[in-house]
Structure 1
Amino acid sequence: MTKLQRMLYDQAKSANAYYDLLLPGRVGVAGAQAIAEGLKVNTTLTSLELMEHDIGNDGAKAFAEALKVNTTLTTLSLPQNQIGDAGAQAIAEALKCSLIEGMDSLPQNQIGQGGAQAIAEALKVNKTLTLLILRENQIGSAGAQAIAEALKVNTTLKELRLDKNQIGDAGTKAIAEALKMNKTLTKLNLIGNQIGVAGAEAIAEALKRNMTVQTLSLERNQIGDVGARVIAKALEANMAVTTLSLCENQLGDAGAQVLAEVLKVNATLAVLYLHENQLGDAGAKAFAEALRVNMTVQRLDLTGNCIGNLGAQAIDEARQVNDECRVNIDRQINPLTLSLRPRLATAEDIQAVFHLLTGGPELEAQPASLPALPFEIAEPIMDEAHYWQGVQDTKQVHFADIFPKHPLKVTVPRSIDENPIQVKAIRVIREWKKPSHNAGDSVVELTVQDEQGAVRYKCVANPTLVDSTLEFVTIWRADHHIIREMREGWKVQLVPSEFSDEFLFESLYVGYV
């Protein structure tokens, strides 16, 4: 062993209760193996966190071997460690006999369908695990379906987090079917999974039968008003859900109104998160009316919508009647922002358009049909079309000067199928707190780095002003060859502006297919 490895071994061997490894550098595979050897003889440590240390599959395998003999560790956390399917499979095998209760070990890694399927097999026999966090991996719909099958027979798992795994409607439907049978899961997180109306409908049907899930997070999907309507209908019968998050789901006043109506009859829901949707005064008024009747809701978050003075006044008046509910309506945005946010196309949408191009559709009220295009012409047209199937994004809200400003960063994800991801565009949206004479002098500065961290492109662009406070920049594939070259692991960074303190928010999007 090297001196560092001996130190890590000794620390792991004698650590008590909680061990959070904080080192100036990354321990890598060899360091992870040293820690794992220490765990084999440790009899007191209950929780271990090792974040962003590049331990990879071999390091994960070493921890898996340690879990087979360690009888005291109950929580293991290994986020951002480049663990792939092989590492996940090793840990899954250990879970079949381990006493681990909390597995926060695998978020933000590189686990795909194979790793998820192995973990699912472990869940079918594991009797101790209560927490499983697989957020920000690439398990896809097939991985979600495998985990759903395990949920049908697992009787110990209480919390499942699958944020940002591209499970889509197909994976969501599988999870929903499992919820009809599972009686132990109390918290389910499906944030940012490209879930549409079909997925929302499946979840709604499950909620009519499942009476154990208490916290449901569906934010950053695309369920829209139709999805909100079916969820609201389910809440008329469901008396278990106490916390529901539908943030960033393209909900407008129609969706808000049906949710507000259900609050008049549902006496269980205590927390409802709806920030960054598309609610206006009509939606706010509907909730204000509901708050005069419902006395069980403790928190209603309407931050970052498009509520004006009339809606805010209605909420204030409702607060005079109901002072038990905390309502957040700050940082309302310019309604024009909604037109700049990405609207994602589903695989079915894309296929339908491609079929129109190659099939020669008939025009209404016209005797002739459009000519069918050959595939070699239709494919470049689709390639250049301005649509996104997926998006990685981040946002910074400048609501207080006491918080440090940091660069916004987005990483291109790994594809969940055999086809490589193609970046379609980079977009920056920002809104000024008020009309400013600096708006004309403001620029957007971006850098693009490859998977090795080398800067491949620097861009300084003048944003397009939408009105006196709203501006944006979009760089399409046709604008620069570097966009065509971007692939898994590449990073886009928005350099902080000298005028950051004058912005209400900044958003960075990387759209891809």
Structure 2
Amino acid sequence: MEERLPEEEIGDAGAKAIAEALKVNATVTTLDLGKNQIGDAGARTIAETLKVNTTLTQLFLYRNQIREGGMNAIAEALKVNTSVTALGLGINQIGDAGAQAIAETLKVNTTVTRLYLDQNQIGEAGAQAIAETLKVNKTLSELYLGDNRISDAGATPIAEALKVNTTLTALDLGKNQIGNLGMMAIAEALKVNTSLTEHNLNVNQIGDEGAKAIAEALKVNTSVKKLNLAFNCIGKVAAQAIQDARPLTELKLNYQINPLAFALRPRLATAEDLQIVFRMLTSGLELENQSASLPALPAEIADLIMDEAYYWQGVERVNWIEGTADGVLKVTVPQSINGNSIRVKVIQVLWDKSTEGKSKQNCVFYLTIRDEQGVVRYECAATPSFVDSTIRLATIWPASHPVIRQMREGWEVQVQPSEPPGDDVLEYLYVGYV
């Protein structure tokens, strides 16, 4: 029996009531509580039920508000639960700590075969913990880690685990930050792995070097049947090498992005980064192996240097367009973590087209700025310039648009192109602030 309950209505109290009912219910095998408002408290009550319930086989809690605490409770429960085979926790906020907790559990749990952890802010530490689990787990067959923060440093240990894992058949690492190094590590793993049949690596930063490595791996690997490498930075020659390696049931190489698009994206500094650099500039650095030190700069000069280097915090929105998007991008200026007032420094928009020679010379984008009450405070049309044959870039400065200086926490920036995205494959909106 499957139980699918109303969306967006269930919070912690509702989750507790459902959990209590499941302690005595012996018929429900699938419970879908996705798209609700269940937090850690609700997750803990569900976890207590999992310790005694023996009929539930599929539990879906995607798109809720579960963090590390709720994940820890569920992980502990699954150490004794022997019925749940599918666990969906995508689009929550479990982070590295939550990923580490479930990874430890799966070293002893022998029933979970499908695990969904997509869009959970999992980075290097979480990926490393999961990799260690994959070396010893003998039951997990499908693992979904898409739309997280896994870079080469996280992909490499996962690749090492694939060399010894013999049960995983589907692995989703799409929409992460994996580049050539991570791809080359995965390619080496696929030369010896014999269980993986489906591998999703779309929307990463894999270039020709990584693509050529996977092409060589496919010449000896016989298990992979489906491979998704769309929305990366793979050129035509490297893409052809993958196609020529051997026939696959499904191979996606469409919508490749110009590598320059990633290079042009600003580095998002954290508040801690800014403080460290500011202290370095204002305290006077001692030069290595020398008795002299650099002079300490006045705070005003340090601020000016960081401004000139575009060294700011930022909030961004990235869309990978698959033919149906309307091209609208929105970001909201976040709240300062140190209590200081936020000053917006720049708004930047970037588009990347999939095909050269189809430039929209007359295309502009419409900028709308709304305050925290949703009131429109500013509108304008800006004309982007072409960085190269496929990339259009527009940068909006306070000097020419003074309203930017008035922006603060909660204000929203929206951009929309004057024409549909068409052959665009990537659009990017960045708001830099201090």
Q: Do both share a fold (TM > 0.5)?
A: yes
User: Aligned residue for 2:78?
Assistant: 123
| Distance of 2:184 and 2:174 partners within structure 1 | 15
Q: Which runs of 5+ in 1 are unaligned?
A: 1-44, 306-332
Spell out, residue by residue over 1:260-285, the C-alpha distance to the aligned partner (whole angstroms, 9 max, x if none): 11111111111111111111133124
2:263 is the alignment partner of 1:263:
no
C-alpha contact 1:158 1:187 (8 A) present in aligned 2: yes
**For residues 501 and 228 of structure 1, do their structure 2 counterparts lie closer, same or farther at Cα, with a shift above 3 Å needed?**
closer
2:22 is the alignment partner of 1:71:
no
Spell out, residue by residue over 1:381-412, the C-alpha distance to the aligned partner (whole angstroms, 9 max, x if none): 769944668855334343xxxx5848555678
Percent of matched pairs sharing the same residue? 47
| Distance of 1:207 and 1:391 partners within structure 2 | 33
| Distance of 2:331 and 2:351 partners within structure 1 | 16
User: Aligned residue for 1:393?
Assistant: 318
| Distance of 1:257 and 1:222 partners within structure 2 | 18
| Distance of 2:174 and 2:192 partners within structure 1 | 22
| Distance of 2:345 and 2:70 partners within structure 1 | 29
Q: TM-score under structure 2 normalisation? A: 0.81
| Distance of 1:165 and 1:380 partners within structure 2 | 36
Q: Which amino acid aligns with 2:385?
A: L
Spell out, residue by residue over 1:199-254, the C-alpha distance to the aligned partner (whole angstroms, 9 max, x if none): 11210121111111111111222221111111111111111111112222211111
C-alpha contact 2:345 2:404 (8 A) present in aligned 1: no
| Distance of 1:112 and 1:512 partners within structure 2 | 28
2:275 is the alignment partner of 1:303:
no
| Distance of 1:482 and 1:189 partners within structure 2 | 42
After TM superposition, the structure 1 = structure 2 runs for residues 33-44 of structure 1, keeping only pairs within 5 Å, are none
Report SS of the residue matched to 2:205.
coil
| Distance of 1:78 and 1:476 partners within structure 2 | 45
User: Which of 1 and 2 has higher RCO (CA within 8 Å, sep 6+)?
Assistant: 2
| Distance of 1:152 and 1:177 partners within structure 2 | 9
Which of 385, 389, 397 is residue 465 of structure 1 equivalent to? 385
After TM superposition, the structure 1 = structure 2 runs for residues 279-428 of structure 1, keeping only pairs within 5 Å, are 279-290=234-245, 294-295=246-247, 297-305=248-256, 333=257, 336-341=260-265, 357=281, 360=284, 369-372=293-296, 385-386=310-311, 392-398=317-323, 405=326, 407-408=328-329, 427-428=348-349
Shift of 1:373: 5.6
2:366 is the alignment partner of 1:444:
yes
Shift of 1:507: 2.4
Spell out, residue by residue over 1:317-342, the C-alpha distance to the aligned partner (whole angstroms, 9 max, x if none): xxxxxxxxxxxxxxxx5564343446
| Distance of 1:67 and 1:169 partners within structure 2 | 36
Q: Which amino acid aligns with 2:419?
A: F
Shift of 1:459: 4.3
| Distance of 2:108 and 2:338 partners within structure 1 | 31
| Distance of 2:153 and 2:325 partners within structure 1 | 41
**For residues 354 and 128 of structure 1, do their structure 2 counterparts lie closer, same or farther at Cα, with a shift above 3 Å needed?**
farther
User: Aligned residue for 2:153?
Assistant: 198
C-alpha contact 2:333 2:408 (8 A) present in aligned 1: no
| Distance of 2:210 and 2:285 partners within structure 1 | 34
**For residues 242 and 485 of structure 1, do their structure 2 counterparts lie closer, same or farther at Cα, with a shift above 3 Å needed?**
same
| Distance of 2:212 and 2:67 partners within structure 1 | 39
| Distance of 2:423 and 2:66 partners within structure 1 | 37
Shift of 1:479: 7.6
Shift of 1:54: 3.6
User: Aligned residue for 1:480?
Assistant: 404
C-alpha contact 1:225 1:252 (8 A) present in aligned 2: yes
Spell out, residue by residue over 1:98-117, the C-alpha distance to the aligned partner (whole angstroms, 9 max, x if none): 3222222x222221111111
Shift of 1:435: 2.6
Which of 350, 365, 373 is residue 429 of structure 1 equivalent to? 350
Q: CA RMSD in A?
A: 4.0
Which of 407, 424, 433 is residue 504 of structure 1 equivalent to? 424
Q: TM-score under structure 1 normalisation? A: 0.70
Report SS of the residue matched to 2:189.
helix
Q: Which amino acid aligns with 2:57?
A: E
**For residues 66 and 287 of structure 1, do their structure 2 counterparts lie closer, same or farther at Cα, with a shift above 3 Å needed?**
same
Q: Which amino acid aligns with 1:110?
A: Q
Spell out, residue by residue over 1:33-63, the C-alpha distance to the aligned partner (whole angstroms, 9 max, x if none): xxxxxxxxxxxx4231432x24222222222
C-alpha contact 2:190 2:221 (8 A) present in aligned 1: yes
Q: Which amino acid aligns with 2:3?
A: S
